Structures are given as C-alpha cells and as structure tokens.
Amino acid sequence: MKKNCPQCNKETDLSPTNTYRPFCSEKCKLIDFGTWTNEEKLISRPIESEDFYED
C-alpha cells in the first residue's frame, strides 16, 4: 500500500518492509519526533478507548 509521507508528502510504502512507516525515511521520522519533543504538537483532548478503533 502506498501513501504520502506525513512530513514531506513524498509517496511512501506502508508495508512492514519500510522500517520508518508511515514516514519515507529516518530523516522525516526524526523531524516529526522533534516537533513532538519540542511540544510543537499536542494532543488536544484526552484519549478515549474509541480512538483506537477505525470506522
């Protein structure tokens, strides 16, 4: 399955062979991790059990 990388928007493979999924590379994964650790991204509400299930 192919989808766009959430960081750079480049098409990436979501199969288990891509160790950086859903990102296209280690660089994009680390950039995203950095934004979370700098608290630039926050979860806006408490997580509920229903959040773990897809419709």
What tens digit of pLDDT does each residue of 3-55 get? 999 999 999 999 999 999 999 999 999 999 999 988 888 878 888 888 788 76
Does residue 19 fall inside a structural domain? yes
Number of domains in the chain: 1
* Bridge partners, residue 47, by sequence: none
We report the CATH number of the domain holding residue 34 as 3.30.50.10
Give yes or no for a contact between 20 and 29, defined as CB atoms under 8 angstroms apart: yes
User: How many Å apart are CA 29 and CA 6, to the nearest integer?
Assistant: 9
Is the CB of residue 23 less than 8 Å from the CB of residue 7? yes
Please tell me the predicted confidence (pLDDT) of residue 50: 83
Is this prediction's pTM over 0.85? no
Domain range for 6 = 2-38
d(CA 47, CA 34): 21
Please give the pLDDT value at position 46: 85
pLDDT at 16: 92
Residue with tokens 């766009």: 4
pLDDT recorded at residue 55: 60
